[in-house]
A and B are shown apart, each in its own frame.
Chain A
């Protein structure tokens, strides 16, 4: 039973390039969450998606960041025109569609570590 798969595990980009991070949720999970962890800090919520829908993007920066979770394929977090401040670990988590909001345990991937030169 594969867990949450994230790739790439490490990504190096130069300022101004684009970064694409992919997340395949656990089998049977239809909810995906993206979090960002800056060095020496906790995890900050970015966006919550279900298949083909963005449910809550209140944590996403207003510019350059976007996310999608298409009907087929992984969820993608896209960062355009990266800057040094985007260097961080980006974690994806998934959960099943549980009966009660808030109760589901999120299963996290191993993270994608973005370094912007």
Chain B
């Protein structure tokens, strides 16, 4: 069975600091997809990124970057020069490529990030 672990329950930083959110996953499949979602205080879930298991290239989008390493089963998320608006709960999630489960996601427990001014 698949599992996603986000060991950091809460992180607090001061604005402009860089912060990395860790994500470790377990799956027996060779084809799978990894995601990050953001849940701001308003409560909705916002999609940030999707990676497939065959693409280990790191990705950068503005202040956000993601480091995917199959060797350690990790998919970490870094925010550079954090801002107060980045304060949210961030979820890492895994989807396996099975017809019977569609794009069902297994979520980690989430990391509450607080960016203080």
Determine, out of A19-27, A70-78, A80-88, A94-102, the stretch whose residues face the partner at the interface. A94-102
- B100 near A102 with CB under 8 A, answer no
B36-75 with Cβ < 8 A to chain A: 37, 42-45, 47, 50, 52
Interface residues on B, range: 20 to 34
Give which listed residue, A101, A105, A111, contacts B98 with CB less than 8 A: A101
User: Closest residue to A96 on the B side, CB-wise?
Assistant: B103
User: Closest residue to B49 on the A side, CB-wise?
Assistant: A105
B96-117 with Cβ < 8 A to chain A: 96-110
Interface size on A, residues (CB 8 A): 30
Contact code string B71-103 (vs A, CB < 8 Å = 1, else 0): 000000000000000000001000111111111
Give the residue among B43, B98, B104, B108 with the most A Cβ atoms within 10 A.
B104
Chain A residues with CB under 8 Å of chain B are 31, 33, 35, 41-45, 48, 50, 55-56, 89, 91, 93, 95, 98, 100-111, 113
9 closest Cβ contacts across the A-B interface?
A102-B97, A108-B45, A104-B103, A42-B109, A102-B95, A110-B44, A43-B107, A42-B107, A101-B99
